[in-house]
Amino acid sequence: DAGITQSPRHKVTETGTPVTLRCHQTENHRYMYWYRQDPGHGLRLIHYSYGVKDTDKGEVSDGYSVSRSKTEDFLLTLESATSSQTSVYFCAIRDGLAGNLQETQYFGPGTRLLVL
Amino acid sequence: SQQGEEDPQALSIQEGENATMNCSYKTSINNLQWYRQNSGRGLVHLILIRSNEREKHSGRLRVTLDTSKKSSSLLITASRAADTASYFCATDAPLNTDKLIFGTGTRLQVFP
């Protein structure tokens, strides 16, 4: 899966607790993305990063924060989890350099999060 | 809001038949991509078509793009049971080509 791992793969937590999901890549790609996938909504972008310490919001960023202190890791934090954040979370990476594959995103295996 | 909307939401066919999925989007784009997702897995890139292209082929996949109608179609020929998956179109976001906007997907079931 293009050198992308996500941890944990499954998590159950309680409302109000903080949760951090990790995405790790070995491809040295510049761009990293966090999406959530819910039935009837497809994939929606939460946040993305275009370099170390450079991040920007997606369409569903409320309640989430991210950090990227090094190229290979992109962390997604739910400061105080709510039941509406129960979802499957996917990380993706993109090279972004010139060439035919610069727009292609490569996805991790996903993290299933259940907030009770 | 979603940029791409796929049609149909679900499609069931027999092995050997062709499967056609459609995607409509709202704003001008630089390119459109199709991804496949097997159950419980991450998305896998299938093909990209640029706004100045009308048709593209990759193996059993044929993608068309009609920018005047803001629509694209994905044709899978001679389908196999292994093609069973969800298929998503994705377009670059208006004013920010670093981001993709995904449609809601078509769930394809191919029966042996």
pLDDT tens, residue by residue, B24-60: 999 899 999 999 999 999 999 999 999 999 999 999 9
Identify the residue among B24, B45, B87, B97 best suited for mutation to test binding to A, counting A beta carbons within 10 A and taking the highest. Answer: B45
Which residue ranges of chain A lie beneath pLDDT 70?
1-2, 98-100
Q: Which helix (DSSP H) or strand (DSSP E) does residue B100 occupy?
A: strand B96-102
Domain region containing A20: 4-115
Q: Please provide the DSSP assignment of B33-93 as one string.
A: EEEEE-TTS-EEEEEEEETT-SEEEETTEEEEEETTTTEEEEEE-S--GGG-EEEEEEEEE
A36 close to A104: Cβ distance less than 8 angstroms: no
Task: Give the single-character DSSP code of A58.
Answer: -
CATH code where residue B82 lies? 2.60.40.10
* Residue B88 forms contact with A (CB below 8 Å): yes
* Residue B112 forms contact with A (CB below 8 Å): no
pLDDT tens, residue by residue, B69-110: 999 999 999 999 999 999 999 998 777 888 999 999 999 999
Domain region containing B12: 5-111
Report how far residue A75's alpha carbon sits from residue A87's, in angstroms, rounded to the nearest whole number.
Answer: 16
Beta-ladder partners of A75: A22, A67
CATH code where residue A46 lies? 2.60.40.10
Give the total number of structural domains in chain B. 1
CA angle B17, B21, B27 (to 5 degrees): 165
Residue B1 confidence class, pLDDT cut points 50, 70, 90: very low
pLDDT, residue A1, reads 54
Q: How far apart are the first and last CA of chain B?
A: 37
Closest by Cβ to A109, choosing from B41, B92, B105: B41
Residues of B (42-71) whose Cβ lies below 8 Å from A: 42-45, 48
Give the total number of structural domains in chain A. 1
